[in-house]
Amino acid sequence: MNDQTITDTPLHAYRVSTPPDIDPAAHCHACSARFHAFCGALNDEALIRLSAMTTEMRFRAPQTIIYEDDSAEHAYNLCSGVVRVTKMLPDGRRQITGFLFPGDFMGLTHKDAYGYSVEAVTDVDLCRFPRDRLMSLFEESPEMERKLLAMATDELSSAQEQILLLGRKTARERLASFILKLSRMANGRGEQGDPVALPMSRADIADFLGLTIETVSRTLTKLGKEGLIHLENAHSVRILRKDKLEDVEVGADRDQ
């Protein structure tokens, strides 16, 4: 495992015009993800120190950003685009443990190696930090640690929801939950939550929901025929009956 296939050249697509040698954190202030990200919790001084250890990078889908079991030397902040977090079994079975969106943090671990891979679902921009230097920022900036704890707590709560979904929900309930979750998350980021964007493939959805692509496809078709959703195309779903879909999400539609 290595980074041979990685586009390693820093990229400044979202950096504002101010030259970095005058205000090194200027592009941070212009970063659209900053409001949701951990770096949004930092004061100007800390932000400048963070900026000094930051490498901005771009990956194109479906490049791998983090390789499972690789030495965990960097942490990343997702600025734009979508990534998937995956775990593999030796025989190739794959489980996606989550999709990450702008503002999300990757590489939080205090072990030596990453416990998962991260791959670009769409083209992505991200900020990369050396983990050891980032940790040392904790000393001066406890609000950063506070924010990371809050983010980890949220992720944990989301992981527990996913455990409930995988352990006890039917395929139908999983798909309803998935569509509603993506919709809510888009709303939370201030994006359009009704025609729900599904940037990932059916295979990704299947590996996230613990199903096969065929079951995902069939179940979406069925929800469409029942009039709960409308499949505008393979990657966009309109929610027609939010109330009914929310019933399906928790199995409240099984009695009639």
Residues that bind DNA (CB under 7 A): 170-172, 201-203, 210-218, 220-221, 231, 233-235
Two tokens at 194? 């009704």
- Please spell the DSSP secondary structure of 43-100, one letter per residue: -HHHHHHHHHT-EEEEE-TT-EEE-TTSB--EEEEEEES-EEEEEE-TTS-EEEEEEE
Q: Which helix (H) or strand (E) holds 149?
A: helix 142-168
* Contact assessment for residue 94 and residue 138, using Cβ atoms and an 8 Å cutoff: no
Tell me how far, at minimum, the Cβ of 124 lies from a second copy, in Å.
Answer: 20
Question: Which residue lies nearer to a second copy by CB, 27 or 107?
Answer: 107
Torsion-angle region of 103 (φ positive above 0: left; ψ -120 to 50: alpha; else: beta): left
Tell me how far, at minimum, the Cβ of 234 lies from DNA, in Å.
Answer: 4
* Contact assessment for residue 26 and residue 15, using Cβ atoms and an 8 Å cutoff: yes
SS3 state of residue 105 = strand
Q: Which does 212 bind (CB under 5 to 8 A by kind): a second copy, DNA, none?
A: DNA
Question: Which residue lies nearer to a second copy by CB, 46 or 148?
Answer: 148
Tell me how far, at minimum, the Cβ of 168 lies from a second copy, in Å.
Answer: 5
Give the interface with a second copy as residue ranges (CB under 8 A): 85, 87, 89-91, 93-95, 97, 108-111, 115-116, 138, 142, 145-146, 148-150, 152-157, 159-164, 166-169, 207-210, 250-252, 254
Question: Which residue lies nearer to DNA by CB, 85 or 220?
Answer: 220
SS3 state of residue 23 = coil
Tell me how far, at minimum, the Cβ of 251 lies from a second copy, in Å.
Answer: 5
Tell me how far, at minimum, the Cβ of 109 lies from DNA, in Å.
Answer: 29
Q: How many helices (H) and strands (E) does the chain have?
A: 8, 11
Question: Which residue lies nearer to DNA by CB, 104 or 207?
Answer: 207
Question: Which residue lies nearer to DNA by CB, 51 or 215?
Answer: 215
